[in-house]
A and B are shown apart, each in its own frame.
Chain A
């Protein structure tokens, strides 16, 4: 558990010293006490920084330029047609904006989660549909990155850096989303293979993936605990028996490819098991600590877009003789949107930073995802409100934001599941 005061080396003694110094110096005048306060301030700020490194700033610049110059203009037509934005994805892959987590020995850049989040926020600003298609790669790859052996990593991560391929994370089923332990897809060992049967649903990149991370139940005993009953597999998409369903028509993020997938007597070689039989649940959940901060970053990017579009409009549109931004009702809406965006950003940055430091970040990751998902929806709605009648219309960019935002409260752990996790972590800390 991480203390919120971790950044000050000696919080209490610093405060005490400052206090004593203040009292002692009171007799010698206000300037002396001000000097003492500055020394204490410097000590307490020692470890904490909001500064990005030069490299992070450069990465952010490239992602920002790409998003604003290439994604933003193309997004409305992809939203209308629902066509998979492969040209944009290919471009992002060429620029190195995708697959950042892949380790260097597999041809990747071995970026941390923080760097990935910076890039994700910028891409999401352009279009969260495009960004989700890209992000699904990270989600699919994460189990292999954290649990794959060298051969598996070289084979399945290596190929992602050689050409722009997609992968997918296959866990959710029609009957089990939040309740991962309730999945029914069965994997039965037969000789050197596992035979898989079952139904998966809402799989992002389901129809475009080159391979899937699949979670299936290997222990049929209903009394077996979740931590032993499931196994993680890598499945090549062209394996006989893998049948992607139709592309689902969703409310938002329309260009992202979401499908059901049927597994009918699919044979998986035992070399494609991650770690071993029964290790699957922990791998699937472990991936989330690293993928929730980028999802939160995506939601923040959408909220930032909503804020910028609304601000621009409010400084152009006039009513009652003034720009609408000069009416307090509107400026207060913008102020609250700004508050939410800044806080969501700080939340995902903290969650990403924690996991990059090597610490368990579940608490922060859930907070970031829950908060960012909620405020993305609020900011999108407020943006439509500020646009008024125009906001409701498809010629203006904000109604798409409202439709795109909703899924952030659902996928990657629903808003309710996040609250379950946060309360459990919080109470756990408290009881210690």
Chain B
């Protein structure tokens, strides 16, 4: 069981005029690249006959179904769309998503959750870790290599100092890093076959999850515009300017 995230891949990001977030209207949404890698890893495990079934899960509004379809076209067996829309979707963060995943993992009796290490719109890097904590499952994060050894998972992790190899018991949560694999294209015949695969609709309430946020976004600002510099004639002028600016 794994989870591709819906994410933003905008050509140019703009902050909303009321500074509560970024503009998402008309921005093409597609699968988070790290989650694509997660889907690929899951499909690979199934092809090696190490897992029985791959379920693609995503939380969000109607458009999320496209992303789930892509996962199905890549080889997932079925999909679960957890419907969260409108205001709830705007405030949906890692804690609520992890609660949803934890509830689903219990319901589906999953043995493995694979997701991207972080979503490229918010860069939170929390969902995988929180999900593992809520389930009290071991976690292998920033995975660049995953090998199944009997009932244990050997995970090679990319850390600041290099590579760390750990062994964790199943069931477990794994988050995918960039070098885990190269995601396949969805081939045209697979896209057509994916249409026959089922996507089930579920609401967070059905899973007993409250999606209200504990966080309130106060404001969102663009990074400060780079101001043009000023040329000065002499060192004396430079010192004066620096004094004026309160720098010395």
Contacts and interface: CB of A to CB of B under 8 A. Distances in A.
Contacts of B186: 58, 62
A65 B186 CA distance: 10
Nearest to B70: A58
Interface string A88-103: 0000001111001000
B191 A58 contact: yes
Nearest to A161: B189
| Chain A contact residues, majority secondary structure | helix
Interface string B57-71: 000000000100110
Contacts, number: 32
Interface in B38-80: 66, 69-70, 73
Contacts of A65: 185
Nearest to B30: A61
B239 interface: no
A59 B188 contact: yes
A109 interface: yes
A58 B187 contact: no
Interface in B127-155: none
B27 interface: no
B37 to A, nearest CB: 16
A96 B188 contact: yes
A56 to B, nearest CB: 10
A62 B70 CA distance: 10
B163 interface: no
Contact of A54 (B66, B188, B189): B66
B166 interface: no
Contacts of B185: 62, 65-66, 95
Contacts of B189: 96, 109
Contacts of B187: 62, 94-96
A65 B191 CA distance: 15
A328 interface: no
A209 B187 CA distance: 24
B13 interface: no
A100 B188 CA distance: 9
A66 B188 CA distance: 12
Contacts of B73: 58
B192 interface: yes
Interface in A361-397: none
Contacts of A27: none
Contacts of A432: none
Contacts of B198: none
A294 B198 CA distance: 33
Contacts of B69: 54, 58
A3 interface: no
Interface string A76-111: 000000000000000000111100100000000100
Nearest to B189: A96
Contacts of A59: 188, 191
Nearest to A94: B187
Interface in B4-57: none
B66 A97 contact: no
Which one of B69, B73, B189 has the highest number of Cβ atoms from chain A below 10 Å of its Cβ? Answer: B189
Interface string B184-214: 0111111110010000000000000000000
14 contacts: A54-B69, A55-B192, A58-B69, A58-B70, A58-B191, A59-B188, A62-B191, A95-B187, A96-B187, A96-B189, A97-B188, A100-B188, A109-B188, A109-B192
Interface of B: 66, 69-70, 73, 185-192, 195
Given A59-B188, A94-B187, 18 more contacts: A54-B66, A55-B191, A55-B192, A55-B195, A58-B70, A58-B186, A59-B191, A62-B187, A62-B188, A62-B191, A66-B185, A95-B185, A95-B188, A96-B187, A96-B189, A100-B188, A109-B188, A109-B192
Interface of A: 54-55, 58-59, 62, 65-66, 94-97, 100, 109
